[in-house]
Amino acid sequence: MSAVVAETLFEGPIAEEYELLRLICPAAADMSRRVGEWVSAWTPPNPGTLDVLEIGCGTGITSLHLLNGRADLRLTGIDNAPAMLAQARRNLAPALAEGRLRLIEADALSHLRGLPSASVDLVASGYALHNFLDSYRDRVLAEIHRVLKPGGAFVNGDRYALDDTREHLRSTQDEVRVYFRTFLELNRPDLLEQWVVHLFSDESPDHIMRLAPALERMEETGFRPVTVHFRDGVNALVSGAKP
């Protein structure tokens, strides 16, 4: 098994003040809500407690929607950024105290590799996979498929780049304009720099997650059906079932 080193993209001001994302990407909060709604409406193949693993739980925005969406859900959230997890521990303190939630500082792929096959009902994620290197994302997808029980599902609300490259460029240019307007108004050139650098990483050829190839890759991995439930610009809610 080859060693794959994941990047840590969320440290410093971008992590400490992650809640400012709502100003530059209001669609992300809406997508977190959609992930929670999708999971609360999902019919699990087996009765009993629903074991959910969240990849890249960050500060807990999507986690909270998952936990509030259904009482039978037990969540394990993993993230490799200590500054993000520290906020999740505060934001999700009641669920931690109730024992409905575990938060683990771990690399997504390493954690998945340590899980038994067919041991998780559902894997959920919000805006984490688009941060991954292509090769790393492929391995994570394969591991998600392996750890899911038959009849389980993977649901991902994420940034899926537009397949039309010119259209995508225009959309990204619009995003950069919003970054500049927002952070210069707040007099926060440090955050502007970090978010622009972050965007360059997401948009680079070995990271960018375009919708059509991403759906194909999920099917190649064995998910069936693969469904796009919602799409607005680069924001899409995608699920894949494990037959």
Ligand X SMILES: C[S@@+](CC[C@H](N)C(=O)[O-])C[C@H]1O[C@@H](n2cnc3c(N)ncnc32)[C@H](O)[C@@H]1O
Sole binder of ligand X in the list 56, 69, 152, 240 (CB under 6 A): 56
Please tell me whether residue 27 binds ligand X under the rule CB under 6 A: no
- Binding to ligand X (CB under 6 A) within 175-234 occurs at none
Tell me how far, at minimum, the Cβ of 15 lies from ligand X, in Å: 7
Sole binder of ligand X in the list 53, 95, 122, 128 (CB under 6 A): 128
Nearer to ligand X, 107 or 138 (CB): 107
Sole binder of ligand X in the list 32, 172, 235, 239 (CB under 6 A): 32
Sole binder of ligand X in the list 126, 146, 162, 202 (CB under 6 A): 126
Please tell me whether residue 158 binds ligand X under the rule CB under 6 A: no
Tell me how far, at minimum, the Cβ of 183 lies from ligand X, in Å: 17
Cα(16)–Cα(32) distance, rounded to whole angstroms?
19
Question: Which one of 40-48, 125-133, 189-197, 199-207 is the stretch in contact with ligand X (CB under 6 A)?
Answer: 125-133
Tell me how far, at minimum, the Cβ of 180 lies from ligand X, in Å: 20
Nearer to ligand X, 9 or 176 (CB): 9
Nearest residue to 210 via CA among 148, 163, 153: 163
3-class SS string, the chain: CCCCCCCCCCCCHHHHCHHHHHHHCHHHHHHHHHHHHHHHHCCCCCCCCEEEEEECCCCCHHHHHHHHHCCCEEEEEEECCHHHHHHHHHHCHHHHHHCCEEEEECCHHHHHHCCCCCCEEEEEEECCHHHCCHHHHHHHHHHHHHHEEEEEEEEEEEECECCCHHHHHHHHHHHHHHHHHHHHHCCCHHHHHHHHHHHHHHHCCCCCCEHHHHHHHHHHHCCCCEEEEEEECCEEEEEEECC
Please tell me whether residue 156 binds ligand X under the rule CB under 6 A: no
Tell me how far, at minimum, the Cβ of 237 lies from ligand X, in Å: 12
* Window 74-113: contact mask with ligand X (x via CB under 6 A): ----xxxx--x----------------------xx-----
Please tell me whether residue 161 binds ligand X under the rule CB under 6 A: no
* Number of residues engaging ligand X in binding (CB under 6 A): 20
Please tell me whether residue 115 binds ligand X under the rule CB under 6 A: no
Residue whose pair of structure tokens reads 């999700």 in the numeric block: 92
Phi, psi of 116 (to 5 degrees): -65, 155
**Strands 226-232 and 148-159, sheet pairing:** unpaired
Residue ranges that bind ligand X, judged by CB under 6 A: 6, 9-10, 32, 56-58, 61-62, 78-81, 84, 107-108, 126-128, 131
